[in-house]
Structure 1
Amino acid sequence: MFKKLSNSQSNGDVTLIASECQITGSIIINGNARIDGKVEGSVQATGDLIIGNSAYLEIYAHVSLKLNKVLNLLS
């Protein structure tokens, strides 16, 4: 029913946190990710982190960001 993907098959995968999702805590992602939901905590991704229009973030991030809009950072 399930099979493990080889590295060559999984390189294009993107972890998705959908707009209906809310996560509180630490997230570690090996690869690329897209956030459309709400995340509070910390996010670490080895690939790119794409922030969707519906995303709400209160995070400490160690990532490479790709944005379509201006990102306002609060200290």
Structure 2
Amino acid sequence: MRDKLNDFFDGKVGDKPKDQKWLDDFYKEGEERFKKKIPPGFKDSGKESNDDDTHFYNDGLYYERQYGDLIL
């Protein structure tokens, strides 16, 4: 199943964020966009049900879930 997913997305996914500073700056922009209800993703603000769901780490980077749609 994983191989099928990898094949499907091969060549269709952009580069990962270059560093944590880039993500942190993007989150600041996201805050402003969410306050003004500018899509994409503003309806995801505060969507998590508990603290464990608000963020995750991947490849050394800290991601805030509420900004997932905006990042994509």
TM-score (norm 2): 0.20
Whose strand proportion is higher, 1 or 2? 1
User: Which protein has greater RCO, CA pairs closer than 8 Å, 6+ apart?
Assistant: 2
Whose helix proportion is higher, 1 or 2? 2
Pick the structure with greater CA Rg: 2
